[in-house]
Chains A and B, each alone.
Chain A
Amino acid sequence: MRKRRYTALILIVIGIALAFLPASPVGSNDILTLLITLFIIAALASSWNILAGFVGRINLGHASFFGIGALVTRELWLGADWHPALAFIVGGATAALAALIVGAPALRLKGIYFSVGTLALAEAMRLTVGTILPRVSRLPGPELRSYELAPRYLIALGVLALIVAFVYWLRQSKLGLGMMAVREDEEAAKSVGVNIFFHSLIAFILSAFFAGLAGGAFAFYHVGYYPNFPFGPEWTFEALLVTFVGGIGTLVGPLVGAVFFVMISDLLSSNPDLLNVHLIVFGALFIAVVLALPGGIIEVVTRLRRRVLVAPKQP
């Protein structure tokens, strides 16, 4: 319990420090841009982790919820002239609603069929959105002239903080324990009265809701992009990579993985010869994690710390 309180304390301190960054001299535009990317990836990965880490279902169509959030937020904000905050919440809620509708048939699919089914669904959505909205969505003149990075930064940070706080609560709640029971052993969970379908569906909806919020942050941040871009499979894949490399099913795993991912890609992309090499590095790390180290970076850290802390006591 004490260790857990330390984690919370450290996360809160980091969060507050990050919130004051735009006002400080360190907060240059380069740094803010990098951190916005980091926050969005970390938020998306953490939201994916709710279903994959807690219930054990690999959703390969997560990008569709990110895309729905981005699409609805952008349309309501720029198209219907809503207040961004309201557009934002409705964006997340629409993603959650989509998960509720898709959830019942999708979650009936066992194991891998759930994964390929959601992958096909996301591709179908990407194609449909690309057909209906083929043109680039750009910020109109007035918005463009008043564009500032700091509020975008704070919104992305806020979304991430919200997800992390939620997962923190989920870990020790009855709901979260029920989800983990489903992950470990469906039969055993059923025998102690855990409703498997209910827990899977709730996790799916929550995961979609937070992905939708992350999509909203994306829509609010980007100046121009094709509306079907956030529906692309690469968003799902990045969330999956980051979560696995960091440590699936943990609170800080997706965060550590995202920091690692953004750092490596930033370091390598400064050299044009090494463009995209970070994807090869991460792909290889990911395979290594799947085959040899199911706990990811977090487990390595935990093991090392245990060794350092325990070793001196031994004669």
Chain B
Amino acid sequence: MDANIVAQSLLSGALVGSLYGLSALGLSLVFGVLKVLNISHGELLMLGGYASFWLFSLLGIDPYLSLVIVIPLMLIIGVLLHLGLFRHVTEFDEEHRIKNSLLIGFGLTLIFQTLAIRLFTADDRSIATAYSTDALELLGLRVPIVRFSGVFIGALVVIGLQLFLKRTYWGKAIRATAEDWRTAALSGINIRQMYLITFTLGAALAGIAGMLVSLQYSVSPNIGLGWTLKALIVVVLAGLGSIPGTFIAGILLGLAETASALVFGGEFRELVGLVIFLVILSVRPQGLFGARHA
């Protein structure tokens, strides 16, 4: 096999992987802090993707610039979903919390998917800007600019989140809530407020990933489950709690996918992640929180 082809495929794998990492950040954050698994995360990503697609094709707004509208929009959706639905789930004890959140996320998946089919039709949509085909030459490899921007934006988001969680009051309070919500509540942290902020932030992160998906690939109403699964695989790979770790795990998943496509053929690309996921689950059946919470 030509070394150049291998390098080129691995590079594009890493670039896809940065999107996996980005889409997993929101899921991981919400899972870690609220102890709620939102399997409609992929649908939020889909909504973000459609938002920037329509802003581009109807109003001609540049996809990167559209984040100025997409992010507030996703924040609003996040607030509504949390106050309307997920807030009630966080009142349950931990076992019921996670089970009911799964079920509610599932109901939302169905609603969002059907709404998207009715409003936007089932067609694949992607943003084709004037610079979509431009590419950088790097050591003899071609990197489309829009794909490279995924890594750049991903890295910015990771740094931003890291600063937010480590340096600000809200960030520290959120980490304390994730660690032990009872102690956090006893030390005067308004944990309901932290839940709201975290969930909303998760929705906004899904929206950013969605913009990049519609710019680099395409959006259609049924992409949600696929992205949720990718995000879940990344979360299982990385464990909970580390923002850079999650992003890097995403890139690793992208690399693993292309490596398996090179070795076994393209149709096995999607399978490798699921296999990794099942192997990790069967080695650690107690789940991600580990013995500490068992």
Contacts and interface: CB of A to CB of B under 8 A. Distances in A.
Interface of A: 58, 105, 108-113, 115-117, 119-121, 123-124, 127-128, 131, 233, 237, 240-241, 244, 275-277, 279-280, 282-284, 286-287, 290-291
B107 A290 contact: yes
Given A233-B225, A276-B118, A282 B95 contact: no
B106 A237 contact: yes
A276 to B, nearest CB: 5
Q: Which residue, A112, A124, A276, has most C-beta atoms of chain B within 10 A?
A: A112
A277 B114 contact: yes
A110 B118 contact: no
A210 to B, nearest CB: 22
A244 B233 CA distance: 27
* Interface range, B side: 35 or more
B133 interface: no
Contacts of A244: 103
Contacts of A277: 114, 118
Contacts of B37: 112, 116
Contact of A237 (B110, B117, B118): B110
B107 A120 contact: no
30 contacts: A58-B102, A109-B287, A110-B286, A110-B287, A111-B98, A112-B98, A113-B281, A113-B285, A117-B282, A120-B229, A123-B225, A124-B271, A124-B275, A128-B271, A233-B225, A240-B103, A275-B118, A276-B117, A276-B118, A279-B110, A279-B111, A280-B111, A284-B107, A286-B107, A287-B85, A287-B103, A287-B104, A287-B108, A290-B100, A290-B104
Interface in B211-237: 225, 229, 232-233
Nearest to A106: B282
Contacts of B85: 287, 291
A113 B282 CA distance: 10
B99 interface: yes
B123 interface: no
Contacts of A124: 271, 274-275, 278
B88 interface: yes
Nearest to B281: A117
B111 A109 contact: no
Given A276-B117, A283-B114, A123 B108 contact: no
Contact of B287 (A113, A128, A282): A113
B148 interface: no
A127 B271 contact: yes
B8 to A, nearest CB: 24
Contacts of A275: 118
The DSSP consensus for interface residues of chain A is: helix
B80 interface: no
Given A112-B99, A290-B104, A280 B270 contact: no
B115 interface: yes
A120 B100 contact: no
Given A115-B102, A128-B271, A290-B107, 14 more contacts: A58-B99, A110-B286, A110-B287, A111-B98, A113-B281, A117-B278, A120-B232, A120-B233, A124-B274, A276-B114, A279-B113, A283-B111, A283-B114, A291-B85
B54 interface: no
Nearest to B288: A113
Given A112-B37, A117-B281, A287-B85, A240 B111 contact: no
B99 A291 contact: no
A131 B274 CA distance: 15
Interface string B60-95: 000000000000000000000000010011000001
B277 interface: yes
B267 to A, nearest CB: 4
Contact of B114 (A108, A131, A233, A280): A280
A291 B229 contact: no
A120 B99 contact: no
B117 A110 contact: no
Interface in B261-288: 267-268, 270-271, 274-275, 277-278, 281-282, 285-287
Contacts of B109: 283
Nearest to B232: A116
Q: Which residue, B85, B88, B114, B229, has most C-beta atoms of chain A within 10 A?
A: B114
Nearest to A233: B225
Contacts of A233: 225
Contacts of A121: 274, 278
Contacts of A286: 103, 106-107, 110
Contacts of B277: 117, 120
A123 B233 CA distance: 13
Contacts of A290: 100, 103-104, 107
Interface in B103-151: 103-104, 106-111, 113-115, 117-118
Q: Which residue, B107, B109, B267, has most C-beta atoms of chain A within 10 A?
A: B107
Contacts of A112: 37, 98-99, 102, 287
A123 to B, nearest CB: 6
A269 B233 CA distance: 37
A284 B111 contact: yes
Interface in B186-218: none
Q: Which residue, B106, B277, B286, B287, has most C-beta atoms of chain A within 10 A?
A: B106
B98 A283 contact: no
A283 B118 contact: no
Nearest to A238: B110
Contacts of A240: 103, 106
Contact of A119 (B110, B111, B229): B229
